[in-house]
Amino acid sequence: MSDDHPDDRPGARATLDTPFGPFTVVADADADGVVLAAGWTTVPDDELLPLVHPTLRPAKIVDRSELGAVTDAVLAFHDGDPGPAATLPVRQYGGPFLQEVWARMREIPAGTSLSYTELAARAGRPLAPRGAAQACAHNAIGLFVPCHRVRRGDGSLGGFRWGLSRKEELLAAEAAHVAARTATEA
């Protein structure tokens, strides 16, 4: 994390067309692609920036048509390759448990899902499924930290900031891409 005062740290924002609607990314312009917030919205000042903790929020954000590797990762994800989105650096504010849960979310393979209980166990606190659910609810970096891959223990979808229909669409698209890739490799 930068030691600069937030007022000194510039940010950049880009909105991209995707099969699931407009997708906006807010990144730390100094850090070459550190993603601070992302989601399916065209109103980032209302829906994304409030998710970025004040200590991480850039004071000035420049709109761009693309963000290099970040844009490439978003487009690759929507084309069926989640790999780049899973490896780009991200930064969000939270205590050790939230950080651990977010890190474990990034390890959930596309086309699969975990329950909140399974996610909590992977984060080292098997008795904290509600804490894992809170980590999903407080995740500011949709797609890059794929909270859409986490479900309730009964298999139902649970919540999703960008809507349950979008969560269902994302899971179905990922499963279809994995099935197609598996069929091609067979």
What CATH code is carried by the domain that includes residue 168? 1.10.10.10
Mean pLDDT of 120-136: 97
Is-catalytic flag, 147?
A: yes
Buried/exposed code over 108-145 (b: 16+ C-beta within 10 A; e: otherwise): bebbebbbbbbbbbbbeeeebbebbbbbbebbbbbbbb
| 9 to 56, 67, 79, 116: CA distances (angstroms) | 9, 16, 32, 35
Using one digit for the tens of pLDDT, what is the confidence trace for 98-122?
999 999 999 999 999 999 999 999 9
Please give the residue range of the domain that contains residue 82.
6-87
How many domains does the chain fold into? 2
Given 128, 147, 150, 171, the catalytic residue: 147
Last residue of a domain, one of 57, 87, 117: 87
Confirm whether 163 is domain-assigned: yes
Identify whether 1 is part of a domain: no
Distance CA 97, CA 40 (A): 26
Dump pLDDT digits (tens) for 74-102: 999 999 899 999 999 999 999 999 999 99
Q: Which of 46, 67, 87 is the last residue of a domain?
A: 87
Say if 73 falls within a structural domain.
Answer: yes
Q: How far, CA to CA in Å, does 82 sit from each of 43, 62, 73, 97, 185?
A: 24, 26, 8, 24, 17
Q: Are residues 109 and 67 in the same domain?
A: no
Q: Which two tokens stand for residue 174?
A: 């990922």
pTM: 0.90
